Amino acid sequence: MRPIRFVRFASFALVVAAMLGACSSTNLTNMWMDKGATSPVVDNILVISLDRNPEMRRLWEDALSAEFQAQGLVARPSYQLFPADLPDSQQVAVVMTRDNHDAALVTHPLAVVTNAEPDGGYHDTAPAAHGNYWRRGYMVAWSAATQPPSDSKKGDLRFQLDLARANGQLLWTGQSKAVDPADADKLRTEVAGQVVPELQKRKIIPKD
């Protein structure tokens, strides 16, 4: 009986290990984090999706806000404040200061080939926009988002997610793997559901 019990135990252990490995994996890639990102902690977030399509914008902002809220954090979709147009950097700064948002999470599609292989993990080199995100990072993405839509942006896309303070300090950035932006389930599981655990793991936001 001992050999049978050992085989059963070993099989169970392998299953558990596989489950743990799956839980610890992430679909996020090309990440970077500022060394001072954990202080002060972020628990009041403005969520911004730079998408001209109102339905897609609401889908993204609601999905990301819900993930933060599920952890007991304050998160507000930007479409509630700016329902007609995508807010520019000045508008975002005013709202963040007025409403005491610790940071804003901004997402926007990447202008890259869909089948390009992204690099994984964290990088040591800081992005060019890390010191003045709202001018060097946000405004570039905002300008692209407010241009007439292009037929080239169809099918699966990769998205960039940036977390920045009102003063322009970029705290964290990462990219998603290719995902159908209209697939609500994949958006929740493969993007929105990955961001919050990663930020908690890095102690940028608190755990519930």
Taking every pair of Cα atoms in the chain, the longest distance, rounded to a whole number of angstroms, is 72
Residues of the chain with pLDDT under 50: 1-24, 113-116
- pTM across the whole model: 0.82
Q: Give me the pLDDT at residue 55, please.
A: 92
What per-residue confidence (pLDDT) applies to 82?
A: 97
Domain range list for the chain? 26-201
pLDDT (0 to 100) of residue 106: 97
Tokens of residue 177, six digits: 């793997």
Q: pLDDT value at position 32?
A: 96
According to the CATH classification, is domain 26-201 in 3.40.50?
yes
Q: Which residues contact 129 (CB under 8 A, 6 or more apart)?
A: 135, 136, 137, 138, 140, 162, 170
Question: Can you name the residues that pair with 31 across neighbouring β-strands?
Answer: 122
